[in-house]
Structure 1
Amino acid sequence: MKFSVLASGSTGNALFIESDKTRILIDAGLSGKQLEERMKKIDIDPSTIEAIFVTHEHIDHVRGLGVMARRHQIPVYMNEATWLSLPSTVGEIPEPLQNVLETGAALQFQDLTIESIPISHDAAEPVGYQIRQGRECLATVTDLGYVSKRIVDQVNGADTLIWESNHDVEMLRMGSYPWNVKRRILSDTGHLSNEDAGAALTEILKGIGENVYLAHLSRDNNMSELAHLTVKNILEETGMKVGRDVHLWPTFDDRPTPLREVRIKVKG
């Protein structure tokens, strides 16, 4: 199984995954044209995508959903509450392409097992996803206000984790956002701070060489280097060595990450 984070951040989110038998997207938060351009940068033909799985209805996760579904006749999966809450800008998705995957359910799609994970965010019924092919496992969890025990239990054991590290608390508090927006971001239905991201990872990671991609970073209230350093320091306080026991990687809002294998790297 291989993957690339095509885009991550408040301007758009999309994750490409391919297995031996299929290719899928998790979210389609860029325009159709941008999604196709990002896929071409990693030598992927957009017409080969066989399904799009949606985490929630916010525009930075569904901006290009309708265009991609209609243009390439791609089946779309999400829970019923999210279907009912899609913004009108997505446009009409033909009924034969509409599929319901209820929260907490698992679906066998070609050689992938795709399981929906309930999360806390200010959307209708937001989810993360765990994707398995054989013994390999990738989990993607962003846009959540806090990390429940259920999330910890479900993503524990993932080889690769796409994990939210949205903001630095002090940057957010001192920044120019209106207080009601700051309060939303800091709430249990908002976004994970760098500190909370690191603390949760200490409960999730086993230190056997997992790859963690720090995702959905705020342009205004975070920096990639700061997110990396904060999470690294928290993990290493527990005795875990970053670069040996766990590998931290950046994601980007303006370009895809390299196409990489999901499997765990050998330590050392």
Structure 2
Amino acid sequence: MSLRVSVLASGSTGNSIYVETDDQCLLIDAGLSGKKMEQCFEQIKLSPSKLNGILVTHEHSDHVKGVGILARKYKLPIYANTRTWKAMENGLGKIPVEQKFHFETGVTKSFGNIDVESFGVSHDAAEPMFFTFHHNGRKLSIVTDTGYVSERIKGITKGSNSFVFESNHDMDMLRMGKYPWSVKRRILGDEGHVSNVDAAIALSEILTDDPVNVYLAHLSLDNNMKELARMTVHQTLEEKGYEIGKRVKLFDTDPFNPTPLTAV
């Protein structure tokens, strides 16, 4: 019985991740329209009707745009912490009370045979949190939408067999790009997003000697490129002694095309 993951969409335009076992099917965020979310599921030959629930990380539109639509259409429970519920509730549209559930930060909650551990991150939302999934001795961690990777996050996620890890921007592209300084300052700040270099350094302090898959996620369309993110992380990890392609496998994610459904 394996733990499997597909990054359905990842980037500035929308984010969603699908996690399953033989017993449970969970969606983490739904940041695309309902129609586009269904198209993502079609691409991995699955249906949202299989889902046992939607876990919400925070209220930003690139994470919740399709949550209300999918929940109503497929009668899915939604799980979020109290402050996130308060921040996003009006934007979701009417959700029946029996589909609303609370999942607080710093708690481990069981969904069938998956144990899901929530942890806080530093981002400019009401109470953003992400998740580590435990099943049958395998571990998957999702770490995006954070201005920095704290020692606590490193401790929680250490030993994961797979990571979906933020590599949002190239520092030079962002500084020289078209964004106004106020936006650049937000992205670069402690409640913004992790750069390629910072992602690589954090990973070098988290990875163990075991084989691991790393999905580089939430890349900016304007301030990053897949090749640049991969090259930066590759070079830094190799300098730290990690064998890329053998011990550590790096994978791209995409704003519009899901990654194959793969065992963790």
Shorter-chain TM-score range = over 0.9
CA distance in 2, matches of 1:112, 1:60: 26
Q: Equivalent of 1:40, from 32, 42, 50?
A: 42
CA distance in 1, matches of 2:112, 2:231: 39
2:73 — aligned with what? Answer: 71
- Which residue identity does 1:9 align to in structure 2? G
Mapping for residues 118-157 of structure 1, pairs under 5 Å = 118-157=120-159
RMSD: 0.8
CA distance in 2, matches of 1:9, 1:90: 21
Secondary structure of 2:246 counterpart: coil
1:265 — aligned with what? Answer: none
Secondary structure of 1:86 counterpart: helix
Mapping for residues 87-236 of structure 1, pairs under 5 Å = 88-236=90-238
Q: Equivalent of 2:23, from 18, 21, 24?
A: 21
CA distance in 2, matches of 1:114, 1:99: 14
Contact 1:59 1:87 (8 Å CA) reproduced: no
- Are positions 1:244 and 2:250 aligned together? no
How far is the alpha carbon of 1:132 from its aligned partner? Answer: 1.0
Contact 1:118 1:126 (8 Å CA) reproduced: yes
How far is the alpha carbon of 1:207 from its aligned partner? Answer: 3.5
1:256 — aligned with what? Answer: 258
Where does structure 1 differ by over 3 angstroms across 4 or more consecutive aligned residues?
none
2:55 — aligned with what? Answer: 53
> Which consecutive residues of structure 2, in runs of 5 or more, have no partner in the other structure?
none
Contact 1:40 1:46 (8 Å CA) reproduced: no
Count of residue pairs the alignment pairs up: 262
Tell me the TM-score normalised to structure 2 length.
Answer: 0.98
Alignment identity in percent? Answer: 50
How far is the alpha carbon of 1:89 from its aligned partner? Answer: 3.2
Secondary structure of 1:11 counterpart: coil
Deviations 1:21-60 (A, max 9, x none): 0111000111111111101111112111110000000000
Secondary structure of 2:62 counterpart: helix
